Amino acid sequence: MAEILGTEHRDPHHFLGMHQQDGIYYINAYKPSAYKMEVLDLSNNKQIKMTHVNGGGIFTAVVGEAPITYKLKIVESSGYEWETYDAYSYDPIIQELDMYLFGNGTHYEIYKKLGAHLMTINGVLGVQFAVWAPNAKRVSVIGDFCGWDGRVYPLRNVENSGIYEIFIPGLVENEKYKFEIKTQENYILEKSDPYANYAEFRPNTASVVTNLEGYEWQDDAYKERKASMDVLNQPINVYEVHLGSWKKSEGEPGYMNYRDIAEELIGYVKEMGYTHIELMPIAEHPFDGSWGYQVTGYFAPTSRFGTPKDFMYFVDRCHQNNIGVILDWVPAHFPKDAHGLVNFDGTALYEHDDPRKGEHPHWGTMIFNYGRNEVNNFLIANAFYWINEFHIDGLRVDAVASMLYLDYGKDYGEWIPNPHGGRENYDAIDFFKHLNSILYKDHPDLLMIAEESTSWPGVSRPTNYGGLGFGLKWNMGWMNDFLRYLSFDPIHRQFHHNDLTFSMVYAFTENFALVLSHDEVVHGK
C-alpha cells in the first residue's frame, strides 16, 4: 500500500483490481481525486460501497465468494461522478514470447505490442499502452483522461521484463498521452511514446492515439508488377523532395496535406520522367530546420502534413501512378530533446552511457547503442513498420559512415577503439547485416540504399558474401568529381576529363547510384 501511495509500485495490478484470499473476493482501487467510490456489480446487478482505507485515495470492498464483472463508480469532492471499467482487472497483453523475441532483438512486429493500440477486450473498447523502460522505478501513462496526473494509471512491469503495460478501458482515438517515468533518483520525466504512430503538431510534444487499420489500399496492381521485376536491373530515376518546402500552402503554418501534395507532386514527377520519389525524413521531428534528420517519433509520420492515413493515401496514389516511394531513414543518431529517447528511463537506454561512444560532438546528437538487442529491435522493427504498414518501396539509410566508424567526426580522445584497437564499429556492422538480410528475406523487391561516403568495402555485397547487404550505395566520389568538372570554365574542361572518367575505375566494386542531392544544394556545391 505504501508503494502505491508513494507511486513506486512496479506491479500495481498485484494490489489493485479484484483478488481472492481464503475463498473471499475483494476489490482494491486507487483514485487520488475520489471522495467516495462504489463497485457496480454487473453480474448480480447491485452496488457495493467501498471503504476509504486511509484517506489517501485507496478504496476497498468485499464482493463475495465468486468473481464478478464490475465497474467502478467514482465520486469526486466537486460532486462530479463517473463510471468506468477497472483498468487493473485485465490480464497482460504482452506475452512470454513477445518478451523473449524482444530480448533477442528479433521481434520484427514489436510495434504491434509496444506503443498505444486501440482494442476491444471482453467487449470493452479501450487503449493498451506499453513501453520499454527497464531501469525506471515507476512508469505511468498520463493525458487529458487523467488530468495529466501520474498517480492515476501506473503500469505494471510484466514479469520484470522491463516492459510496462496497462489497458485503460473507455479511451478512444485521438487521446493525447505521454509516459511519466520516475527514475531511481526520484526524478520525474515526461516522455513521448517511442512507438507512437501519431504525435501532436510541434511545438507540442504529446503522442496521440490513432488507428492504422481501415485504410483500403488500391495498389495491388503496382505491387504485383514490382514483384515480377528485378529491381536492381531496372532503370530508376529518383526525385528527392522535402515535403515542407517543395510547395507551401497559403497562411500559417504553410504546410500542405499529404493528400494535396500527392495530387500536385505526382503530376510533376511523371512529367519529368522520374520513376521514384525519395522523401527526406517524414518521421516526427521537433525542429523544422533539421529537415527531419533529428527524429523523436520513429513510428509517426509527421503531423505537419496530416494523419498516418493521409500519408497512406500519398503512397497509394504514387503507386497507382506507377511511382515508387523511398524514405530517407535515420538510424544513425537522435536528438537530445527532453521528451525524446535520450536518458529515457533515467539511464542511457537507447544510447551509450559514455559520451565518447554515445554522442556526435559535431552534430550535437546521440548515437544509438547497436550492441543492445532491444535497441536494434526498435530500429529493425521500424524499418518493417514503414514497409509493411505504409507500403514503402525502399529506404535510403542516412549517415552510414558515421555508424561504421567509431571516430567519425571526432578528434583524438573523443572516441573509444573497438576490442582490437581499431575504429570499426562491430556492433553497427552486425546491425546492418541483420537489418538487410531479414528485410531482403521478407521483401526481395525492396530497395535498401546506403549513403556511405567512404570506401568501406562490400557495402552493397550480400551478407552471405561478407558484405553489409545493401542493394545500392550512393556514389559520393562520382558526385564530387562531376561537380568539380562542371566548376571549371568550359574552355578549361579539356584538361580535367579525368574527373569524368575516374569513377569508372571503381564503378563495378559496388552497385552504385549516381546522386545529386540536397547536401550538394545546401553546401553550395
Using only C-alpha atoms, what is the Rg of the chain? 26
Q: Judge whether 451 counts as a catalytic residue.
A: yes
Exactly one of 451, 452, 499, 510 is catalytic; name it. 451
> Contact, 367 vs 320, CB < 8 A?
no
**Residue 22 one-letter amino acid:** D
> Contact, 351 vs 302, CB < 8 A?
no
Q: In the numeric block, which cell numbers belong to residue 296?
A: 523523436
DSSP 8-state assignment for residue 496: -
Q: How far is CA 217 from CA 73, 105, 313, in A?
A: 43, 30, 8
Q: Residue 433 and residue 464: Cα distance in Å, rounded? A: 9
E-state strands within 170-274: 176-182, 188-191, 207-208, 238-241
Exactly one of 38, 240, 328, 398 is catalytic; name it. 398
Q: How far is CA 4 from CA 153, 352, 521, in A?
A: 11, 32, 56
Neighbours of 496 (CB within 10 A): 14
Q: Residue 269 and residue 236: Cα distance in Å, rounded? A: 13
Place of cell 526498435: 378
The phi and psi torsions of 100 (rounded to 5 degrees) equal -65, -50
Q: Judge whether 442 counts as a catalytic residue.
A: no
Q: Residue 470 and residue 204: Cα distance in Å, rounded? A: 37
Does 253 sit behind a cis peptide bond, omega within 30 degrees of 0 on the bond before it?
A: yes
Q: Is the dihedral of CA 361, 365, 368, 374 positive or negative?
A: positive
Which run of H or E residues covers position 60? Answer: strand 58-64
Long-range contact set of residues 67-70: C-beta below 8 Å, sequence gap at least 24: 67/18, 67/20, 67/25, 68/18, 68/25, 68/41, 68/42, 68/43, 68/44, 69/41, 69/42, 69/43, 70/18, 70/27, 70/39, 70/40, 70/41, 70/42, 70/43
Residues forming beta bridges with residue 449, ordered by sequence position: 396, 472
Q: In the numeric block, which cell numbers belong to residue 204?
A: 507540442
- 485 burial via Cβ count (<10 Å: 0-12, 13-18, 19+): middle
**Would you name the residues annotated as active-site residues?**
398, 451
